[in-house]
A and B are shown apart, each in its own frame.
Chain A
Amino acid sequence: MSQNLYIILLLPLGGFLINGLFGRRLGDKTVGVLGAGVIGAAFAVAIAAFVELLGMPHDSRIINPTYYVWLAAGELKIPFGLLLDPLSGVMILIVTGVSFLIHIYSIGYMHKDPGYPRYFAFLNLFVFFMLLLVLGDSYPLMFVGWEGVGLCSYLLIGFWFTDDVKATAGKKAFIVNRIGDFGFLIGVFLIFSVFGTLTFKGVAEGASVFNGTPALAFWMAFGLFVGATGKSAQIPLYVWLPDAMAGPTPVSALIHAATMVTAGVYMVARNAFLFALSPAALGVVAWIGVLTAIFAATIALVQNDIKKVLAYSTVSQLGYMFVGCGVGAFSAGISHLMTHAFFKALLFLGAGSVIHAVHYAHAHSGYHGDPQDIRYMGGLRRRMPTTYWTFAAACLAIAGVPGLSGFFSKDEIIWKAFANGQPVVGVTALIAAGLTAFYMFRLLYMTFHGEWRGGKGQFEHIPESPKVMTLPLSILGVLSIIGGWVAIPHILGGGAWFEEFLKPTFHSAEVLLAHTGHPSLAAEYSVMGISIIIAIAGILWARRWYVLHPEIPKRLAARLKGLYKVVLNKYYVDEIYNFTFVQTTLALADGCWNYFDTPVVDGLVNGTAAVVGWCGGILRRIQTGLIANYALVMAIGAAVLVGWMVWK
């Protein structure tokens, strides 16, 4: 197995090639089965690889086959090698497992879409690039995956490209990510110039004996982190993710919740040895993370589009993961990445199920409204029990109700913030946790409880989704509940198995950070207690406002009209960006175009083209077709050449 790790990459790639090239001829049924099948097979391979990893001694769980010298130019040698260690082992399980479920779900969700083969081809390609990103053992290989998932994200956001808004959303995601990628590249260039190698192994070895200035260490880590803020939608580059919801909902679940957007967190964790060199950079990571967490949570409080709420929630939860990394608790960040993949994928798929059903009801009653607006939903639990129960489980998990997956991972992050000397970060994260519980249950209550607020005579038309969609929901529901049990901390009688498992990967970073002093058990219990109280309070509050007294939020919104409007419009960040960056760039571009490009560059280019074309015409005439002419020119050339050689 270990040497044949590449099979896991070839499976989705093969699915992409077959579906992409022959999809139209195969028929939708084959395409769907093939698309999901290759991912299922990849999942099986991932399990086999993971089991093999588990069978190895705890401290030497590394499988690093090198297949090929990918590029060699001068001293730059880039091998094509894969790196399977506890970190990437966990990642490939998440990526292939969640992808497999979402592929199955998509068979039902995308049914009868004219772009069915194209959809599965892109989705398979995405999984290929995501696995390459996770498994690549060098920065360039990771970057190929990084750009590849970005490309697939762009293609899938704009999947219904005939709709202008959706195509624009795709472009926005692409452009914002370019800014982040620029930072990533700068970081990689710095790393190469400092360490002279680009494999993770080589750089980790170099980092352990690094003796450069703190500023140098900071800029290397900071460059990488800028890349992470782009891909993982953190302040200030988070603006693309809410718009990315224009894509099909399973895509939102897979790419914009469970996997691709977590690539930034994975990258920071992968480079733990580098970030550990610069406490300042880690501080930036923690602060950006926690600010994003609370900022996005406040926006999520008032959104009315079911997917927008979830999008801001994703941004906020990604912030938590960065807090985990930023306070040096990398395994806590990855643990939250995993549980978040379960419950957020479930939430999106549940939302997709709701949208699918409401859309169906609209279509059957001749009513045309927005099928995503929760103000016109309500009471759906009676029509869609499976969707409701699984959605509720996910809400409990994300809110941090004890015993469920989100509780263990989130609580660990908050606790580590306090334990590692970042109390302000910890308190902010606690507040954001309360907001999370509130907005998630607001969403749950408005969608599934109360009375139907949509068009008349529609409610009866709302169907439960087909088995092919509810089955993945149920599996993810179970995972949302039990997924965190691998990370039960010692104080609750667990073995913190997850942290132990990841320890070898983060060992060198933890040695460098060396958080001394053992905080008391009492402190840990009290932080946990507060976090539970806050979560329950958030849920109860949402219940009071949206089930018991639904008139309160309306009254409040009317009273605080100005504030409400600002938050509803997402603090006008898009408008500010538009005004400052986009408009200035456009104005600059316009100026360049009118006063420089048109007269100078175009003139030069057209002039050059005209001159070149004219020369071509002339030179062409020398080609007379007469041998005598050719021989004459040859003889002259020969005379000049030999003459120059001899008499120079």
Chain B
Amino acid sequence: MAFSYSDLFVIAPEIILTALALVVIFVELAWPRCEAALQAICAVGILLAGAAAAISLGVQTTAGFGSASFLNGMVAADGFSVFLKVILATIALLIVLISRSYFSNAPNQPTENIGEQKSASLVSRLRHSDYYSLILLTTVGMMVLASATDLVALFIGLETMSVGLYCLAGIRFERVRSSESALKYLLLGAFASAFLLFGIALIYGATNGATNFKAIVDALQGSFSSGISLLEPAPAMKGTPLLLAGIGFLLIGLLFKIAAVPFHFWSPDVYQGAPTPVTAFMSAGPKAAALAVFIRLFGWVLPGLSTVWAPMLWLIAALTMTVGNIIALAQTDVKRMLAYSSIAHAGYLLLAILAAGNPQVREAAAAGMLFYLTIYYLMNIGAFAVVYIINRARENSDYQIGDYYGLAAKQPWVAGVLALCLISLAGIPPTAGFFSKLYVFSAAVKAGYIGLVVIAVLNSVVSVYYYLRLVVYMYMRPLEKPLAARLTPTTAVALMICTIGILGLGLLPGGLMKQAQTGAAQIELPVPTVE
């Protein structure tokens, strides 16, 4: 197996973040109670990782690596994966920014039973670095997952990400809700991982021992010679039952990670129980990473079998958005409402996967998805950050909608940001949420899924009700309980980034879309160097 040091460029962001996770732990050992410094180190490191991702692409193109494979074809270093790494780095950055003093104010929170004394002492032993290093390591997992071009890399990335998320969900283990959340996530997640791994095994068997995406493509084509893909004109393939079952199980694993119906049950409970900054992280990062590998697999490896998987995915997409939106209507808990809203958004995003099954529009679909994911994390993290601020100010253990009555009068800026995020989530122009839906939906229309787009648009209309309901409560209802929300400077910075992003990209979407199109046009499947 050929290895050259230039291969390390490709995974430089992952290397930087992993090293950073260790640095964070050591810094706190040497210098306790220095959350600000930890945050600063994390922020700088994440920015470095993001820059490294961008530079690695530049180095690669200038040095003419082209479509050469790195690390034995395990991961791609194309524009698509770099775009995603930048998205994931930004998500991590925002989460680090909004997590300030998450533990320091802990005693204020009403702890629910189980020996307060004992749990308090446990909490005091928790370190900030535990939290921040977990965020960083989870991000590493997401990056590997997003750039995976081999089923083995896919599984490693997915598990690195998932284990980190299980820990993060339960990091406030003195609270029942947090522990319950972690346990549910772990058990169901293990279930899903088993499906996924089983699927990989079946595919391995069906393709004569291929795990590399390109090798799978070749095996499906029945030839190992030509480099031309099977894409245009896509011949309707007839896979063996073994292969199809493998793809089915793989699909289940991925659908679980993006919380698609009927594999979504974990998400409202886990989202609600997990600490709010972690919820924000979970709603944005894993979804982006899983969808990235999802679209690469189904748009670039398995489009020939789209006659088999597309109808199933059609049904799941329709179910996901409808169930997500309808249950969100009935929620009175804001955090839970946002959880269901994120299920609905996963449904819209599945449209991009479906559209990618059509070789003519797969690049437009991938570009639309990249655009959507960028906007999605901005508005979702913005919304969750405000929920977090309000919850802390209220010192409640739940997130009832009544807490938001009259918020605009007392906290005009915070309420304004939340309103903007909600309007964007509803997809109303001139916010960026409108364009994100527009691009994905128009790709789906081009791919011929007009019926499903109609369902998606109707769903968007339904969703306007519960998003705007909250806005109306904030602006039209009188304040019920006095409120003194404190905004830490770092949170303010994060909210500002979200606001500028949502408004700026809503008014001037062209630049990001161009980047997304460039990224999507560069999707590659590297070849393994050794057979």
- Complex Cα spacing A647 to B240, Å: 10
Could you write out 18 A-B pairs with CB less than 8 Å apart?
A72-B513, A80-B510, A612-B329, A613-B329, A616-B329, A616-B330, A620-B327, A620-B330, A629-B265, A630-B184, A631-B187, A631-B188, A633-B262, A633-B265, A641-B252, A642-B252, A645-B244, A645-B248
Cα(A634)–Cα(B188), bound, Å: 9
State which of A63-71, A251-259, A305-313, A384-392 sits at the interface with chain B.
Answer: A63-71
B439 at the interface (CB under 8 A from A): yes
Whether A625 contacts B269 in the complex (CB less than 8 A), given A617-B330, A619-B326, comes out as yes
A25 at the interface (CB under 8 A from B): no
Is B511 a contact of A69 with CB atoms below 8 Å?
A: yes
Interface string of B425-445 (1 = CB under 8 A from A): 000000000000011001000
- Selected from A74, A634, A642, the residue in CB contact (under 8 A) with B245 is A642
- Tell me the dominant secondary structure on chain B's binding face: helix
User: Separation in Å of the B209 CB from the closest CB of chain A?
Assistant: 21
- Distance in angstroms from B232 CB to nearest chain A CB is 19
- Give the docked Cα–Cα distance between A510 and B328 (Å): 62
From A637, which residue of chain B is reached at the shortest CB distance? B262
Q: How distant is the Cα of A434 from the Cα of B192 in the complex, in angstroms?
A: 87
- The answer to whether B449 has its CB under 8 Å from any CB of chain A is no
Measured CA separation A183–B264 after assembly (Å): 49
Question: In the complex, A74→B252 CA distance in Å?
Answer: 33
- A646-B327 CB under 8 A given contacts A72-B513, A631-B188: no
Interchain CB contact (< 8 A) of B247 among A69, A623, A629, A645:
A645
Least Cβ distance of A608 to chain B in Å? Answer: 9
The distance from the CB of B100 to the nearest CB of chain A, in whole angstroms, is: 25
Residues of B near A648 (CB, < 8 A) are 308
Q: In the docked arrangement, what's the CA distance between A630 and B256, Å?
A: 12
Q: Is the CB–CB distance between B327 and A71 below 8 Å?
A: no
- CB-based contact B262/A68 at 8 Å: no
Does A644 lie within 8 Å of B312, measured CB to CB? yes
* B268 proximal to A (CB < 8 A): yes
The size class of the interface chain B forms with chain A is: 35 or more
Indicate whether B298 reaches chain A with its CB closer than 8 angstroms: no
Do B265 and A634 touch (CB < 8 A)? yes
Distance, CA A244 to CA B92, complexed state (A) = 52
Top 9 closest pairs, chain A to chain B, by CB: A616-B330, A69-B510, A642-B248, A630-B265, A637-B262, A645-B248, A645-B244, A70-B510, A616-B329
Residues of B close to A615: CB separation below 8 A: 326
B514 vs chain A, min Cβ distance (A): 6
Closest partner residue, chain B, to A630 (CB atom): B265
A646 touches which one: B188, B244, B323 (CB < 8 A)?
B244
Contacts of A521 in B (CB 8 A): none
Check A636 for interface membership: any CB of B closer than 8 A. Answer: yes
Residue among B192, B195, B248, B510 making CB contact with A71, cutoff 8 Å:
B510
Cβ A68 vs Cβ B511 within 8 A = yes
Taking A619-B323, A641-B248 as contacts, is the C-beta distance between A627 and B188 under 8 angstroms?
yes
Which B residues are CB-close (under 8 A) to A74? 442
**B309 on the A face (CB < 8 A):** yes
Whether A645 contacts B508 in the complex (CB less than 8 A), given A619-B326, A637-B262, comes out as no
A73 on the B face (CB < 8 A): yes
Cα(A447)–Cα(B123), bound, Å: 82
B241, A646: Cβ atoms closer than 8 Å: yes
Collect the chain A residues with CB atoms within 8 Å of residue B462's CB.
Answer: 612
Whether, in the assembled complex, A54 has its beta carbon less than 8 Å from a beta carbon of chain B, the answer is no
B residues less than 8 Å from A631 (CB atoms): 187-188, 191
Q: Are B508 and A68 in contact (CB under 8 A)?
A: yes
Given the complex, which residues of A lie within 8 Å of B402, measured CB to CB?
Answer: none
Q: Does B266 contact A (CB under 8 A)?
A: yes
* A638 interface residue (CB < 8 Å to B): yes
Chain B residues contacting A638 (CB-CB under 8 Å) are 195, 248-249, 252, 263
A69 contacts which chain B residues (CB < 8 A)? 510-511, 513-514
B12 shortest CB reach to chain A, Å = 30
Q: Which residues of A contact B514 (CB under 8 A)?
A: 69, 72
